[in-house]
Structure 1
Amino acid sequence: MSQDHLILIQPGFVRPGRAPEARFACPDCNVLEGLLATAPAGAAAQLKVSRVPFERPRQAVIELLGPDHQGLPVLVLGDQHPVPADAQRHEGRAFVNDVQQISRLLAERHGLLAL
């Protein structure tokens, strides 16, 4: 059985064309980081969480979802729960990349707080 896999952008990245000392965070990823930080102990035990660099190509994401689906955050859905009908698919993997939907699924499937 595969587990759900949440992929986020590592906070503190430098953006091309911006001052090199300026650091940034993905707003949607940070919302989910906050939900993870406030999760009850053990709530996300069956959830894999990865953080990848901001720069593209994002090879770890490409390996799972192909080069056309590198936008983050993304929740790659495992087979332990029903897959929503509106989930996107790539080579048999179902995923969602809307932060509201990810939040709802993390609450339903893993006991995290909902937005």
Structure 2
Amino acid sequence: MSRDLLLLLEPGFADPDHPGERFICPDSAPIEGLLASDPARNARLDICRLPFPRPRTAVIEALGAGHQNLPVLILGDAQPAPADAQTLGVKRFVTDTRRILDLLAQRHGFPKVH
């Protein structure tokens, strides 16, 4: 059985187009906030924070070169995938931040977004 895998941009990343500045991903930030709200639950899934520059090898290995945008929740087979998940071969995944937040609550017991 495989576990859910959450891929995020690492917070405080540098962008070569903006030397000397640090950034957060506006789509990953709410997910990081949820993860920080209940750190003990983080152990229920695999979480990988990736550097900003492309190619993003971990994403390419998981979903191919055409799917390097983050965040992404790649759904393991421990629980059924929701009907609205995207499909790539046998892999199921979700890229919408709000939907990722919902699934972290449903599948891993994190607090729900109100």
Alignment TM-score, normalising by the size of structure 1: 0.92
Structure 1 Cα separation of the partners of residues 39 and 12 of structure 2: 26
SS of structure 2 residue aligned to 1:50: strand
* Structure 1 segments unaligned to the other structure (5+ residues): none
Partner of 1:14: 14
Range with greater deviation from structure 2 (66-75 or 7-16): 7-16
What count of residue pairs does the alignment treat as equivalent?
113
> Which sections of structure 2, spanning at least 5 residues, go unmatched?
none
Q: CA offsets per residue over residues 40-74 of structure 1, 9 Å max, x none?
A: 63x23320000011111101100000111111000
Contact 1:66 1:90 in 2 (8 A): no
Residue number in structure 1 paired with 2:92: 94
2:76 is matched by which residue type in structure 1? G
Instruction: Give me the TM-score of the superposition, normalised by structure 2.
Output: 0.92
Partners of 1:39 and 1:111 within 8 A in 2: no
State, as a whole percentage, how many aligned pairs show the same letter: 54
What aligned pairs does 1:1-115 form with structure 2 within 5 A after superposition?
1-18=1-18, 20-39=19-38, 41=40, 43-115=41-113
